[in-house]
Structure 1
Amino acid sequence: MNFLAHFVLSYPDPELMAGNFIADFLNKKEQDSLDICLYKGVEMHQWIDQYTDSHPNISSFNRFFNPVIGHYAPVASDISMDYFLYKNWNKYIDVSYLEFSKLAYDALRIHDYLFPEKPRNTAHRMIEGDWLRQYTSLEGMKYVMYRMNQRAKYKVDFTLTIPIIEVEEEKMNSLFIEFFEQAQIAAKEWKLVN
């Protein structure tokens, strides 16, 4: 899952949300020296990634994208899940998307003095560019996928996934709903024991 889903599963705890956000941007040394208030969010992020990667619905999601982007399919699946989360927003969250975006950005602002440089810079770019808004439309998703082309190690065109989402949206949405309902339950259980 991408930024939005990680924020949602760690909501309403701002420390969990902030730690969850920075997890992908930390090296081992930074993670080991991280302030304890953020460390649980990093652990939760890692747990969410493991949970997601092992879920059968995610394997099905990946199969939609495999023909056009090969081994990058899991990356496109993670990103597109944020789009489906937005589409089903009222099923999962009791605040408006706009208000939630503000809460997520506030969680980053409040804790950014604890972030190492790379995640701090990324958080600032995210807030300034209102990245969470991109998941609200296929046009925004196309922009996100285009940006991913520039970050990929090997030549790939992530934008080829957008027509697939348009054609297979109903099937993908059903897979997402089933997956995310289970993920929310599992995340609540994780928070209780960690």
Structure 2
Amino acid sequence: MNYLAHIYFSGTNRKVAVGNFIGDFVKGKSYEKYPSSFQKGILLHRKIDHFTDTHPIFLETVDLLRPSFGRYSGIMADMYYDYLLASDFEQYSNGVSLSKFSTNFYLSALLYYRWLPKKVKGFIFHFIRTNRLKEYSTFEGLQYSLKIMSIYNSPAINPTLGIEVLASNEVQLRSLFDEFMKEAQQKFPH
């Protein structure tokens, strides 16, 4: 799962949501230097990652994507799952709009800016200004996120191919995602 899903499973506690958001950037036991609510979010991030990375439906999604993306199939599955959540957000959020949810999180990130790791501080204003969480809900927004990833993380990620594969497999991916989310919501009630 990517940023949106991690924040979604954090519930309403702002510090837990920020902790969950920064989870990938806090390694090993360094989470212990954070206040308890942030620690809870960081550890929740790790639990969500473990649940997702070992879940049969997610693994089936990764296998579906492997012919197109090889070793990057897991990353693409994470990105697709955020798109699928964002594009049907109100179904999963008891009617809360993605716009309201996103704005609330951006406020949380700014309120607790001092707790963000240096790498996150380096991109958070761009993340907010470009409304990344809301933009996950469109092909264009997802393609932009994939482009950023291809520049800063892995040139092997092809944003155009990413959208082509999503468009041609969206029905099957959405079916897998809906099934996955039923179990994830039970495991991580928010």
Structure 1: gaps of 5 or more residues: none
Aligned twin of 1:55: 55
SS at match of 1:155: coil
Which residue type is aligned with residue 86 of structure 2?
Y
CA contact (8 A) 2:146 2:157 kept: no
Aligned twin of 1:37: 37
Is 1:12 the counterpart of 2:7? The answer is no
Aligned twin of 2:129: 128
Count matched residues: 189
Cα deviation, 1:147-184, whole Å, max 9, x if unaligned, reads 22123346342431211111111111010011012101
Question: 1:122, CA displacement in angstroms?
Answer: 2.9
SS at match of 2:9: helix
* TM-score, with length taken from structure 1: 0.89
Aligned twin of 2:160: 159
- Higher mean alpha-carbon deviation, 24-33 vs 170-179, is at 24-33
Question: 1:106, CA displacement in angstroms?
Answer: 1.3
Could you tell me how far apart the structure 2 residues matched to 1:153 and 1:135 are?
A: 19
SS at match of 1:177: helix
Question: 1:50, CA displacement in angstroms?
Answer: 0.3
Which residue type is aligned with residue 124 of structure 1?
F
Aligned twin of 1:184: 185
Cα deviation, 1:57-109, whole Å, max 9, x if unaligned, reads 11111123211220110001001111100222122113111101111111111
RMSD of aligned alpha carbons: 1.8
* TM-score, with length taken from structure 2: 0.91
CA contact (8 A) 2:86 2:133 kept: no
Could you tell me how far apart the structure 1 residues matched to 2:90 and 2:157 are?
A: 34
CA contact (8 A) 1:64 1:164 kept: no
- Higher mean alpha-carbon deviation, 46-55 vs 126-135, is at 126-135
Question: 1:115, CA displacement in angstroms?
Answer: 2.3
Aligned twin of 1:119: 120
CA contact (8 A) 1:69 1:158 kept: no
SS at match of 1:12: coil
Aligned twin of 1:174: 175
Aligned twin of 1:109: 110
